Amino acid sequence: MIWNRPRYSSHHFSCKPVIDERKQRERQMKEEGRLPPGQSLTLKWPVLHSGSVPEFDPSTWDFRVWGLVERPLQLTWREFSALSRTHAMSDFHCVTRWSRFENTWDGVSLSEILKLVRPKAAAKFVMVHAEQGFTANVSLADLMHDNVLLATHHDGQPLTPDHGYPLRLIVPHLYAWKSVKWVRGLEFMEQDAPGFWEQNGYHMHGDPWKEQRYTSD
């Protein structure tokens, strides 16, 4: 722990160290059972991704849903922006061992997308497709959680480009690499298949409470 310089009263010389805000908050999250094993709390929002930050052109951008669905979908940015919006608050756990708490997200609920496309009975998994060929696999059951959404805003502000603008999938109960940046589409599948990081040794599921970081975990 790092202590600030002691503060002295004009009446006596007893020193009272100022408690470190991050450590205090981390202790609170542990006591509430909200900090997964092996994680440390951060008050910042670190930037981590593979490759460069893609440019966004609203005139050519689209969002697609295909595969095992009754109604394949393709939306322009304007059409996507017109969908019913939702608000959610959730914690966020990165496989690199930091956790950020009580993030607020605004965007389109995955339940709204599911109502539009109607997944077929055989659909059990989804491959999330993003810019530059990036992919991540998520089970359909995981995407059906109430707080899963396609976010456009974080803590009241539009996502920044390095955090996934214009669209980021948020799956709070899994490690954050499953919360894919720069999302462009969802492919519904019968069988599970590894995405980019999963092909490079990351766990197929990624539950932070079970420390499912890598395939050997």
**Domain range summary for the chain, segments of one domain joined by +:** 60-210
Q: Is the pTM of this model over 0.75?
A: yes
Do you find a cis peptide bond into 208, omega within 30 degrees of 0?
Answer: no
pLDDT digits (tens), the chain, 217 positions: 333 333 333 344 444 444 588 999 999 999 999 999 999 999 988 887 777 899 999 999 999 999 999 999 999 999 999 999 999 999 999 999 999 999 999 999 999 999 999 999 999 999 999 999 999 999 999 999 999 999 999 999 999 999 999 999 999 999 999 999 999 999 999 999 999 999 999 999 999 999 999 998 7
The CATH number of the structural domain formed by 60-210 is 3.90.420.10
Q: Are 36 and 207 in contact (CB under 8 A)?
A: no
* Environment class of 205 (CB within 10 Å of its CB; exposed 0-12, middle 13-18, buried 19+): middle
C-alpha 178: how far from chain center? 6
How far apart CA 217 and CA 212 sit, in angstroms, is 5
Beta bridge partners of 119: 69
Nearest Cα to Cα of residue 174 among 195, 143, 198, 153: 143
